[in-house]
Amino acid sequence: MSLSLSAQEKPNIIVILADDIGFECFSAYGSEFYQTPHIDALAAGGARFTQAYSQPICTPSRVKILSGKYNFRNHEGFATYPFEDKTFAQVARQSGYSTAIAGKWQLSAGDLTGPDRAGFDEYSLWHFAEHILRGADGGIPERLPEPFTNKGSRYKSPRLFENGTLLTDTDGKYGPDIVTDFLCDFIERKKNEPFLIYYPMMLVHAPFEPTPDSPDWAKKDPGRGSGEHYRDMVHYMDRMVEKITAKLEEQNLRENTLILFTGDNGTPRQITSPFPGRGEIRGGKGLMIDDGNRVPFIANWPETIKPDSVIHSLIGFADFWPTIAELTGSKRSPITDGQSFLPLLKGITANARPWLFQSYSVHGPSSAPFRCFTRDADWKLYSDGSLYNVPNDWLEAHPVTGPEGEKHRKRLQKALDQVLKDVPKELIDWETSK
């Protein structure tokens, strides 16, 4: 039975995607080192998911969440979106929603029409640049034209494009403040119509630099290490979330707005964070272990999601597309690899997904191995046959080979085979030959 809402009940939707931060950096998930009170408040008033998984690195996660498809179906290159695949923003726009995006783009080098092609009416974004752009024939790379040869800063005195125009008044200002204020203005202007906001945050990606709240904001103190500045940035990220929620409350929009907060991959590997129960966790960005792709996922929708809910069902990034399609009342049948989690938000767990699939290769099999697995909450099976009991082996150092894991191997192998039949043979050959 569909749980789609009538036109009068359509909620506003805000998807917030933090950059380079795993579950261990949130006090809502048990950290005593980082303080994220405003994100914690969203969890206390809504639902905290314990089994949410991104891709291990940036572009694969961003393409997957927008398209609702596994990366092996639509990989066109790093920092590139396959615009033939409809995004969740296009689905919302076709259903009568006003749409906006702000923060980090990195999906259409040199093309300022990219956000509109992806379904966004308005944008305030950093990073339309790449140093080189591969030629159309795959031959000699060509330089991008000005002003796209320099991506510039995303933080202090940022290089931002807003609705097709390079901003020229950002000297001394802080990028996250500018884009968050842009979204707050959008909320105020669109308060009388349903809207969808996608906020792929710039925080807390390297370089690790002072924020306006840091004691060395005026001049960076080289005596403060990366870990100290990273912590400052985590706390400022939390403040940006509070700024969004405060604007919703000011405009009396809070009750009918669904906020979905997550992260695009694990914490950078140069960051090590103390974490109760494990001593410390070294960031796993770029790795397929939990420290590389287990991320926070918090959903808050007053009067709809039961406060202080903890949901252990599996969530993958492909699931956002069908969920948003259902929420916006789309008449299009979702053709994605995801499964709507709207029932979970309403407390219905009967048909939650029993397993999750993930494949990963940064630049394709010519430059890095293609790896894939299926998993449930506890067990994880790679296509090379290695099986892990994750709660007892976080770093996947001890594959399970005995009879203890056979029933789990058979179950997950069946699910893995179901997906692998669609994976190009050359990718499978690449992995199994390594």
- Tell me, what CATH number does 427's domain have? 3.30.1120
Closest to 53 (Cα-Cα) out of 338, 430, 423, 392: 338
Residue 2 lies in a domain: no
182 & 306 share domain: yes
CB 21 within 8 A of CB 205: no
289 & 425 share domain: no
End position of a domain, from candidates 353, 381, 416: 353
Residue 37 lies in a domain: yes
C-alpha–C-alpha distance, residues 12 and 332, integer Å: 19
C-alpha–C-alpha distance, residues 248 and 59, integer Å: 29
C-alpha–C-alpha distance, residues 416 and 387, integer Å: 12
Residue 1 lies in a domain: no
End position of a domain, from candidates 353, 375, 400: 353
What is the pLDDT at residue 425? 62
CB 143 within 8 A of CB 157: no
Place of tokens 């009967």: 350
- How many angstroms separate the Cα of 358 from the Cα of each of 53, 297, 374? 9, 17, 7
The CA-based angle 25-26-32, given to 5 degrees, is 85
What is the pLDDT at residue 2? 43
* Amino acid occupying residue 187: I
273 & 415 share domain: no
344 & 364 share domain: no
Beta-strand ranges (E) seen in 11-97 are 12-18, 47-53
* Amino acid occupying residue 128: F
CA 90 to chain centre: 18
28 & 138 share domain: yes
What is the pLDDT at residue 295? 97
Place of tokens 């789309």: 330
Beta-strand ranges (E) seen in 96-249 are 98-104, 122-126, 132-133, 142-143, 160-162, 165-166, 195-200
What is the pLDDT at residue 144? 78
C-alpha–C-alpha distance, residues 409 and 402, integer Å: 11
- For the record, the structure tokens of 391 come out as 């709660």
Place of tokens 């995006």: 101
Closest to 295 (Cα-Cα) out of 111, 21, 94: 21
Per-residue pLDDT of the chain (434 residues; tens, 9 = 90+): 344 454 447 999 999 999 999 999 999 999 999 999 999 999 999 999 999 999 999 999 999 999 999 988 887 777 889 999 999 999 999 999 999 999 999 999 999 999 999 999 999 999 999 755 454 455 545 677 778 888 999 999 999 999 999 999 999 999 999 999 999 999 999 999 999 999 999 999 999 999 999 999 999 999 999 999 999 999 999 999 999 999 999 999 999 999 999 999 999 999 999 999 999 999 999 999 999 999 999 999 998 999 999 999 999 999 999 999 999 998 766 778 999 999 999 999 999 999 999 988 765 544 445 689 999 999 999 989 999 999 999 999 999 998 989 999 999 999 999 998 887 665 544 333 33
The dihedral over CA atoms of 281, 283, 285, 286, expressed in degrees to the nearest 10, equals -70
Place of tokens 């060395």: 216
Domain limits for position 397: 360-432
394 & 338 share domain: no
- Tell me, what CATH number does 78's domain have? 3.40.720.10
Residue 179 lies in a domain: yes
C-alpha–C-alpha distance, residues 348 and 325, integer Å: 18
Indicate the SS3 state at residue 238. Answer: helix
End position of a domain, from candidates 353, 368, 391: 353
C-alpha–C-alpha distance, residues 218 and 204, integer Å: 19
Helix (H) or strand (E) holding 13: strand 12-18
- For the record, the structure tokens of 131 come out as 């140093």
- For the record, the structure tokens of 360 come out as 């990963």
C-alpha–C-alpha distance, residues 11 and 8, integer Å: 9
184 & 41 share domain: yes
Task: Count up the domains in the chain and report the number.
Answer: 2
375 & 240 share domain: no
Give the DSSP letter of residue 77: S
- For the record, the structure tokens of 421 come out as 């039949």
113 & 183 share domain: yes
Residue 26 lies in a domain: yes
Closest to 311 (Cα-Cα) out of 275, 352, 357: 352
Strand order in the sheet with 12-18: 165-166, 160-162, 122-126, 98-104, 195-200, 12-18, 257-263, 297-300, 47-53, 309-316
335 & 367 share domain: no
Indicate the SS3 state at residue 391. Answer: helix
CB 156 within 8 A of CB 219: no
What is the pLDDT at residue 4? 46
340 & 393 share domain: no
What is the pLDDT at residue 79? 83
349 & 395 share domain: no
* Torsion sign (Cα): 130, 135, 141, 147: negative
The backbone torsions φ and ψ at residue 80, rounded to the nearest 5 degrees and listed phi first, read -135, 135
Alpha helices in 258-319 (DSSP H): 290-293
| Rg, Å, the chain Cα set | 21
* Torsion sign (Cα): 54, 58, 63, 69: negative
